[in-house]
Amino acid sequence: MKSFKMNLTRKKKISFFLAIMKDKKLFSSTLYKDRLGHFYILDNAGSIMPAVSDTTYTSLFCFTCKLKEDINKDKLQIALEKTIKRYKYLYCKLKKGLFWYYLEEIEKKPKIEDDIEPACTNYSIFSSPLFRVRAKEKRISVEFSHALTDGTGAIEFLKTLLFEYFSILGYNLPSTNITIASSPIDNEEFEDGYKKYYEQNIPKPDPLPIAFHIPGKVLPKHTYRVIFGYCKVDQVLKVAKSKNLTLTEFLSAIYIYSLQQIYFSIDESKRRRYSPFIAFETPINLRKIHPSKTMRNFSLFLISRIDCRMGRYSLEEIFELTHLQMQTELKKKEHLKMIKRNVASEYIFALRLVPLFLKVLVLRSAFYYLGDGLITGFLSNIGKIDLDPVYFEYIDYFDFIPAPGKASKTNCSVVSFDNKLSIAFGSRTEEKELERIFFSTLVSLGIEVHVTIKF
Amino acid sequence: MPYCYNCGVKLDDLADTCPLCGAKIPIKKDSINKLGKEKLDENNIIKEDERFNDKEIVNLKNNKNISDFLYPAYESSSEKQRITSILEIISVSFIISILSIVLINFILEGKITWSKIPAFSIFFAWLIIASILVFNRKIFFSLLFIFLSIFGYLVSLDSLNKKIDWSINYALPILAFCVAVFTILFFISKKTKLKGLNLFAYYLLGGCLICFEIDIIININTMGHIFISWSKYVSFAVVPISLFLLYIHHRFATKLPGKRTFRI
């Protein structure tokens, strides 16, 4: 590690000093103390979620693990209590302050719920803990609100829960890549990574136009349709490799292709009502680029887009475009611009002084024009669940269900374990055309897909 | 496992329609789920996945350059290194200030006259800041050093007319008492679990004690004996207010909203 002195120029030293003087919390921690004890503030990405969530668009995403034998709920309950002690900064309730939301730890023991309702819906962000654990037969599901954490945080929690559960069952399994419940808590686990890497003197990224949104009737309140497609990882990787793409790029390109097909399937006279820009988001885990152990949100989106005014793109053209755009967006400087755009407003003192109810009103109306409305859909690939191969004996597969989206009504999440790739489409529309084109395209490329549906 | 002839995807064994296109599927009773039984060579899978992950990570690492950050290596530097840096910045800026003031004085008057006072002030301010930074978290040493610095500063001011008038008789006991009161208040604030109006009350009482002490010191030096004059009137106002604040705090402390509600 280079010394601090060597890395610092005089100008940067001054900036660094001024930054410390300006805000002692600038560098990250979400933990605050007052006379009633401690509380957490929401991270930059999470702070918008309470304002734009309701009981249907819950901001909940779900990880499900299907075991090879039936679950013992009593033992899972003990494992959950043990896990919560380690991740107490996740077992929180959302509260309203005068200017901001904040999180308070919950003293009450968490309970395993029955997995009876549709995933990720029928949940109030204000009256419940910000995550819930559900179990049924062989399935354990953990649903986390994006106000609290992102996919990486949730999967770390689930891995700990599984390890503790198997330990209680008497299985002596390795803890490689798992945070065990007895390990000490690192303060970095609840830092705000965005603020940590925020740079003041850089430009914001260029604004994006409103994107195309899938037409169609919306499902009734509190319903969320999830269509799962299961493939073999090696089959998909083989095809992706033949196109010189990563798995994420490959699936994103097929998604964009499917969206394009939907756009051009709209009657030409009605098409002009829709934006011709298909903008597609792919979340990336910033922890791999900007070192952080945070369990709060720390991801950003890579945007790939095509302009349908240029006519139809072939699948091969979309493969190439997606690859190039994603590789460009992966550059670190591009993230810093996005972080700047998201975080900058939090440092404007006048905006901080605006009461919460006004902030909520503005955020609700601005969310479409600044966030949700700018994308057609997203594909979130959490990657391979890095558990020791010994776990293959006990775990069948993992599923990852995306949070319901308001403007981008259909979204996709991907997770792989062992040789099983689970692709889940969460949708709030009655139409299933997008999913049909996506999976049919995979089949046409020689990939076997097993499709199943869950409401 | 049944297939949808329209979409080409495999379906659940008992599926009668395709969930994607709605096409009807003829049910075969002997179809079995092979998905759970298929296992591929683990090494092969790991290699493929590593190719995928490694490519991304290598690309990202190549782009990473810590000097690009506005506050570089903040997280990687030790606390000691950070303090040294801050101290260096403060020292340089204070030296520049002293030199500028002395130079202006010298240019205007041809000799150093009034600039001694601001120069001394800046130097002792530097001593105080440095003591806080150097004795980071060692509050006792910080306070001791602050006391010595301020006393040194007052003696210096006193000796500008080349004789010691007030610094020993007045400044030393008042300063020593103030530092003692602040030390006690600091430890009380640290030990108090439920912080609120009670701390405000303690600080008011501390201020009241300091008033008594100043009153007594002045009277000893002027009248030659201990006598309490104006400070008792201060206490008439401060003590009831402090007691009222303590009452409010202990009565309602747990019911009043905390900083979390009002955090901007």
ipTM of the complex: 0.77
Contacts of B35 in chain A (CB under 8 A): 230, 420, 450
**More confident of the two residues B207 and B249:** B207
Cβ neighbours around A370 below 10 Å, total: 15
pLDDT of A19 over the 70 cut: no
Judged by CB atoms closer than 8 Å, whether chains meet at B85 and A4 is answered as yes
pLDDT grade for B259, boundaries at 50, 70 and 90: confident
Residue type, A434: L
More confident residue, B136 or A339: A339
Residue of A350, B131, B113, B223 whose CA lies nearest to A359:
A350
pLDDT-derived band at A11, boundaries 50, 70, 90:
low
Give pLDDT tens digits for A394-415. 999 999 999 998 888 899 999 9
What lies within 8 Å, CB to CB, of B10 at 6+ separation is A448, A449, A450, A451, B1, B2, B3
Q: Which of residues 192-231 of B touch A (CB under 8 A)?
A: 193-196
Binary contact (B72, A95; C-beta < 8 A): no
What pLDDT was estimated at residue A126?
Answer: 86
Residue of B nearest to A425 (CA): B20
> Pick the residue with more confidence: A299 or A7?
A299
Helix A233-242 and helix B42-63, axial crossing angle in degrees, nearest 10: 50
Provide the 3-class DSSP secondary structure of residue A271: helix
pLDDT higher for A80 or A117? A80
Which chain B residues are within 8 Å of A67, Cβ to Cβ? none
Rounded Cα gap, residues A146 and A155, in angstroms: 13
Q: Do B52 and A4 lie within an 8 Å CB cutoff? A: no
**Residues shown for chain B:** 264
Q: Are A244 and A259 within 8 A, CB to CB?
A: no
| Distance from C-alpha of A352 to C-alpha of A345, rounded to nearest angstrom | 8
Which residue from A150, A152, A144 is spatially nearest to A128, judged by alpha carbons? Answer: A144
Which amino acid, residue A33?
Answer: K
pLDDT of amino acid B211:
94
- B57 has a pLDDT exceeding 50: no
Average pLDDT, chain A: 88
Instruction: State yes or no: pLDDT of A91 exceeds 70.
Output: yes
- Write out chain A residues lying below 8 Å of B83, CB-based: none
β-partners of residue A378 are A281
pTM of the model: 0.69
For residue A278, the cross-strand partners are: A306
Assign 3-state DSSP to chain B and report helix, strand, coil percentages, each to 5: 70, 0, 30
Which of A5, A16, A436 lies at the smallest CB-CB distance from B71?
A: A16
pLDDT of residue B1: 78
Predicted local confidence at residue A344, as pLDDT: 87
Residue A450 phi, psi (nearest 5): -105, 120
Please spell the DSSP secondary structure of A172-238, one letter per residue.
----TT---TTSPPPGGGGB-HHHHT--TTSPPPPP-PPPP---SPBPPTT--EEEEEEEEHHHHHH
- Do residues A217 and A411 touch, judged by C-beta distance below 8 A? no
pLDDT digits (tens, 9 = 90+) for B190-226: 888 777 788 899 999 999 999 999 999 999 988 888 8
> Which pLDDT belongs to residue B165?
80
- Which element (helix H / strand E) includes A151? helix A151-169
| A15 vs A9: CA distance, rounded Å | 10
Do B7 and A17 count as a contact with CB atoms less than 8 A apart? no
Nearest beta carbon to residue B77 from set A4, A34, A420: A4
Shortest Cα distance from A384 to chain B (angstroms)?
Answer: 8
Residues of A139-170 as b/e, b for ≥16 C-beta within 10 angstroms? bbbbbbbbbbbbbbbbbbbbbbbbbbbbbbee
Contact A7 B72 (CB under 8 A): yes
What pLDDT, on a 0 to 100 scale, did the predictor assign at position B227? 87
